[in-house]
Amino acid sequence: MSEHTIKATGRNAGGKGASRRLRRAAQLPAIVYGGTAAPQSIQIEHEQIWLASQHEWFYSSILNLDIGGKVEQVLLRDMHRHPYKQLIMHLDFQRVDAAQALRTKVQLHFLNQDVSPAGKTSGVVVMHELTEVEISCLPKDLPNAIEVDLSDLAIGAVVHLSDLKLPAGVELPALKLGKEHDVAVVVAKHGKEDVEAAGAPATAEVPATKASKKDEK
């Protein structure tokens, strides 16, 4: 797991007026909370955060937040962007306890789709139903992303949450809620025009969840 450091300084003034003054000075208001310490208001150079926000690690990695020389490990929990300007308005960070499992979302990286049977067949549409998943793990086991190898994806196949190969120490909380939460991640099926040309119903749906053997009988 790569380490990334965000430098910040503490701030005392609060309210909308203080936040506007910070932004005019190219600073970004933020807050860090969680753990045994009280919430702390901080400020960060906007350019530093803007550059970091262009990378996937900023959203799914544990960050070293350096507040005036005191370093805390945190996760980004919320980001407010300006509705139309290229500006970040506010950030929320949550402190991380190395001994406690955390829940966060990570991106899915789809590999080898173009060489799969479905990917190489004309008229077959491969749909990514999910692009990120919520995971649970200790901070030391947090992956930057989860890879989904589609090299064997067949026409008509459905990849469910339970089919994902997870890194050691990583769990999917949704799977503990019942089989109805074992939703589709990837679906490979013929496009609408191909289905109609073959005389099959164009509105046929692919099940979103994996049925148990008992249900299939």
Q: Where are the domains of the chain?
A: 4-95, 102-205
> Which stretch of 4-13, 40-49, 68-77 has the lowest confidence by average pLDDT?
4-13
pLDDT exceeds 50 at position 154: yes
In CATH terms, the superfamily for domain 4-95 is Ribosomal Protein L25; Chain P (2.40.240.10)
pLDDT-based confidence at residue 17 (cuts at 50, 70, 90): confident
Query: CATH for 102-205, among 1.10.150.20, 2.170.120.20, 2.60.40.290, 2.60.40.10?
Result: 2.170.120.20
Q: Which residues, 6+ apart, have CB-to-CB distance to 27 below 8 Å?
A: 43, 44, 45, 46
The model's pTM: 0.77
| Mean pLDDT, all residues of the chain | 87
Instruction: Please return the burial class of 182, using the count of CB atoms within 10 Å of its CB with bins 0-12, 13-18 and 19+.
Output: buried
> Which stretch of 39-43, 86-90, 114-118, 190-194 has the lowest confidence by average pLDDT?
190-194
Give the mean pLDDT of 138-164. 95
pLDDT-based confidence at residue 197 (cuts at 50, 70, 90): very low
Report the pLDDT value the prediction gives residue 35, as an integer from 0 to 100. Answer: 86
